[in-house]
Amino acid sequence: MLAAWHACFVAAKRDADAKAAAGDLAAVEHLGLLELTEIARRIAWATTIRAGRLAAMLRPDVSDTACLSGVTDAKWWIDQRDDVDAPLLARAAALVPLQGQSVDPHDAMLCAT
């Protein structure tokens, strides 16, 4: 009985996560984000993370998310998935000195703040 409940819970969670991810992707579609680079599994995971973070940051009280759109390394998005907005923006700004420029974070210095 517990196994059946758990299976239903997991299925419902996956469905809710898929719906949220689709909504986030739709919310950031107008940004014209660059394709992520990495292995396919990381790209899939990081695409969801990036869309969720950017969608949440597209609020009137968040002023500048442009630097985030230039970070194309999937591993970077996965590694930063738990950051709060300010440190995330600072690290992304350090990676992408010019808007729209794709940068490999392993070739750039990361800010500590």
Q: How far apart are CA 22 and CA 105, in angstroms?
A: 27
Say if CB 50 and CB 33 are below 8 A apart.
yes
As a whole number, mean pLDDT of residues 2-13 equals 82
Predicted pLDDT at 36: 93
pLDDT digits (tens, 9 = 90+) for 54-86: 887 776 555 566 677 778 889 988 998 888 777
28-37, 45-54, 62-71, 103-112 — which is least confidently predicted?
103-112
> What are the extents of the domains in the chain?
2-107
43-53 pLDDT, tens per residue?
A: 999 999 999 88
What's the pLDDT score for residue 68?
77
